[in-house]
Amino acid sequence: MDAPRLSRFTETNAKRAIRVSFEFFPPKTEDMERTLWEAIGRLAPLLPHFVSVTYGAGGSTRERTHATVKRILTETMLTPAAHLTCVAASRAEVDAVIEAYAQAGVRHIVALRGDPVGGIGEKYTPHPGGYRNAADLVSGIKRIADIEVSVSAYPEKHPDSTSVAADIDMLKAKVDAGASRAITQFFFENSVYFRYLDRARAAGIEIPIVPGILPVQNFKQARSFAARTGASVPNWLAARFDGLDDDPATRKLIAAAVAAEQVLDLVDNGVTDFHFYTMNRADLVYAICHLLGLRPGKQQSAHALSDIEIEQA
């Protein structure tokens, strides 16, 4: 008999329980605030490991990020992780944000350098009195408070980077500074992620490198994000959305199928943790989590895979 596909047993395999985290962005308007909180309300019962809130380019959402994180802390049982960048800010300004988070009870920061002020493609220049890069920021956070730190990883290379090897060196520097988890930029071809994982492990990086999954709610928007972040968009993906510009209902079904294929293949290949770029929308992410075996209010556990094999035999 062929070995069972691990993704068929996510609900009942205690040794390999699936863990998810959700990323949101801070809302700009009251309408967006309502949409965000509807999404949080729908996804919270799936008991994510944590939920993260992004920090706008150049720190432009500092107050809104803080307010959203604080509301998650006070109004939900969720564990928030606040994104923080060091671009265009002095060390004192960034330290004040870290201290405010620590005082508010935030115990997890996603530490990032941030994009250059003039946008991606422009040369990055650190603020004269600021943290030099993401690794330096990780050290700063660890010096100030006992806070868990996650960082970024780029399976297809960061656009500024000269090579994947340089990227891996940067990830190693962030780990050496105290980061305990990396979350990847989104990707659509799983082989890209596994190749990167092999290279990171070969470089002695042992922390979890959690795949960032972008359910394609809107193909044109996803393609434009990809162009900016260095992620590639395979021809087969474009072909799947071809001709659906005016057909949102079919587009959504295709998006669910594409994301399902991706995450189940990752599970089959041993991945248990996933970070979802929700774009503040719950429906696709909820459906994918359901496929992964998550149910409202229930921690995954029960039997080990060996029990299932025995039951089936």
> Per CB under 6 A, which region of 42-50, 96-104, 164-172, 248-256 contacts ligand FAD?
164-172
Distances (CA, A) of 245 to 68, 240, 241, 253: 33, 11, 8, 13
> For this structure, is 75 an active site residue?
no
* Distance in angstroms (rounded) separating the CA atoms of residues 189 and 226: 13
- The verdict on 166 binding ligand FAD (CB under 6 A) reads yes
Pick from 136, 148, 156, 160 the residue near ligand FAD by CB under 6 A: 160
The region of 12-20, 157-165, 239-247, 301-309 touching ligand FAD under the rule CB under 6 A is 157-165
Name the 3-class secondary structure at 111.
strand
With the C-alpha atoms ordered 283, 284, 290, 295, is the resulting torsion angle positive or negative? negative
- Number of residues assigned to the chain: 313
Site for ligand FAD contains 114 (CB under 6 A): yes
List the interface residues with ligand FAD, window 171-200 (CB under 6 A): 183, 185
Contacts of 150 (CB under 8 A, 6+ apart): 52, 81, 108, 109, 110, 111, 179, 180, 181, 182, 183
Nearer to ligand FAD, 4 or 126 (CB): 126
Q: What is the DSSP letter of 213?
A: E
Check if the beta carbon of residue 136 is closer than 8 Å to that of residue 86. yes
Is there binding between residue 136 and ligand FAD (CB under 6 A)? no
Minimum CB–partner distance for residue 181 and ligand FAD (Å): 10
Look up tokens 């967006």; give the residue. Answer: 32
Q: Please select the residue that binds ligand FAD; options are 106, 141, 170, 216, rule is CB under 6 A.
A: 170
Q: Cβ closer to ligand FAD: 106 or 254?
A: 106
Q: DSSP readout, 3-70? A: PPPGGGGTTTBGGG--EEEEEE---SSHHHHHHHHHHHHHHGGG--SEEEE---GGGTTHHHHHHHHH
> Which member of 136, 148, 156, 167 binds ligand FAD (CB under 6 A)?
167
User: Could you tell me the smallest distance in angstroms from the CB atom of residue 267 to ligand FAD?
Assistant: 20
Q: Per-residue string for binding with ligand FAD, 45-84, x by CB under 6 A?
A: ---------xx-x-------------------------x-
Segment near ligand FAD (CB under 6 A); pick from 98-106, 160-168, 233-241, 247-255: 160-168
Contact 109, 52 (CB under 8 A): no
Binding residue (CB under 6 A) for ligand FAD from 48, 211, 212, 215: 212
| Residues in touch with ligand FAD (CB under 6 A) | 54-55, 57, 83, 85, 110, 112-115, 124, 133-134, 152, 158, 160-161, 166-167, 170, 183, 185, 212
Catalytically active residues are 23
